[in-house]
Structure 1
Amino acid sequence: MSTYTTPSQRASAPAALLTPSEVASMFRVDPKTVTRWAKAGKLTAIRTLGGHRRYNEAEVRGLLGVPTARPAQD
């Protein structure tokens, strides 16, 4: 069974994480640039167990000035 989630599924998760490629496409830069930003402390990176970087979607959208959608409260 696969644990892969699509970007739309991640958007509905409480702590949605983005790959360097997804962040790069949002900023229209190369994924290596996103990695450099993380190393420079401009962007917070979370490391997976495999050592891959993931970025908090809310933080990325905040840097872009795009509001994040809040889940409906019951």
Structure 2
Amino acid sequence: TLLATSGGGLADRTYYFVHSYACVPADDDDVLGMADHGGAFVAAAARGSVAGVQFHPEKSSTAGLALLGRWLEGVTARHGAPA
């Protein structure tokens, strides 16, 4: 379960994690969400126009589709619809 710090209706849903890698951002302000599996770890982070998640949204059912939809809305709002 992802515990999002930024809200947006994407927290407290189940996402598919498949490996043990974890990033450690240099700035805590870059953390968008945390997860816990034997210890808390960063599950989503962003800085500027770059964002990343530690899980597989494409394998995370409706929660993953919702996250990808929000991401696409954000990109489209900033840069326009793809040609």
TM-score, normalised via structure 2 length: 0.24
The structure in which a higher percent of residues are strand is: 2
The structure in which a higher percent of residues are helix is: 1
